[in-house]
């Protein structure tokens, strides 16, 4: 007997693959979370590729891992952003990210 994959809510994403049952994890608008991860990684790779092509001298002046860091940072930000599901959570996250960027930039300038 064929068993249809269960749809899982955001709150159970981390525990969705327990046991031997195959569970199809879905999130935003019914898109499988694994597919969203692939999209996020592709965007990260595209941004790293853009930097590499448009700013080759900058890439040469950095560590070999810089493009991987850009790719992974982009991926992580996209995946984290998808966890904010209400307007209030989204606006709070955007404000928090803005303040964090300013704080880090300020700290780096103070070290110069």
Kindly state the tokens that stand for 34.
């694994």
Count of domains in the chain? 1
Q: Is 38 a domain residue?
A: yes
Range of the domain at 92: 33-111
pLDDT single digits (tens) 50-67: 999 999 999 999 998 999
pLDDT single digits (tens) 70-84: 999 999 999 999 888
Contacts of 24 (CB under 8 A, 6+ apart): 5, 6, 7, 8, 32
Q: Is 15 a domain residue?
A: no
């Amino acid at each position: 007997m064929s068993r249809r994959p269960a749809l899982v809510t955001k709150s159970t994403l981390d525990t969705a693959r327990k046991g031997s049952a195959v569970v199809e994890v879905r999130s935003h608008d019914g898109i499988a979370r694994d597919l969203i991860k692939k999209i996020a990684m592709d965007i990260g790779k595209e941004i790293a590729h853009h930097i590499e092509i448009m700013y080759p001298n900058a890439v040469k002046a950095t560590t070999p891992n810089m493009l991987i860091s850009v790719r992974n940072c982009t991926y992580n930000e996209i995946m984290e952003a998808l966890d904010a599901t209400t307007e209030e959570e989204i606006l709070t996250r955007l404000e928090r990210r803005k303040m964090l960027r300013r704080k880090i930039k300020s700290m780096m300038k103070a070290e110069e």
